[in-house]
Amino acid sequence: MTLTVAAGLYKKSNLEVPKSADPVKAIIKQSLFNYLDELVIGKTVVDLYSGSGNIGIEAVSRGATYAVLVENNYDAIKSINNNIKKLNISDKVEAEVKDVLKFIEHAKESFEIVFADPPYTIPVNHLLNTVNKIIEPKGLFIYFHKSSNTEILVKEMKLIRTKKFGKSSYSVYTTV
């Protein structure tokens, strides 16, 4: 399976996708980035549970200055590194081989936009209670989740948008 960068500098570039990944569908990614529009330009971002790096690379393609792609699956990291190399973006994109919760716990930097697309099968309470530690003031947290999950509370964050696509949704939060 391959994914395509939808817009920006790397538009129409194909991305390698590991077998273990369940990437965000193109229509969802397009909707999100149409909503974010120019908010991505000049921002630092982190893509948690990165899979192929699809979301973080799309952000850089659309003007984010720097992205960290966090993933602990070695097949996924191999695909991420291949995508970084193929697009020649190692100066703008960094892969971190680390468990997301450990990354948050030990992070020495914070980000203006945080994307998280955890597998639907894992518990996310700890993520939702700690992710605010790595988000800049007035930053955004974009959380991909099942549409059946409603009333998702994120510590010290305010919900500003939820968009549903059948069984999948994304929610956008801002710091308070």
**Bridge partner residues of 114 (DSSP):** 46, 141
- Amino acid (1-letter code) at residue 157: M
pTM tops 0.85: yes
Task: Give tens-digit pLDDT for 76-98.
Answer: 999 999 999 999 999 999 999 99
Domains and CATH numbers, the chain: 2-175 (3.40.50.150)
Task: Give tens-digit pLDDT for 29-77.
Answer: 999 999 999 999 999 999 999 999 999 999 999 999 999 999 999 999 9
Q: Which two tokens stand for residue 145?
A: 């989740």
Provide, for the chain, the percentages of residues in helix, strand and coil under a 3-state DSSP scheme, each rounded to the nearest 5: 30, 30, 35
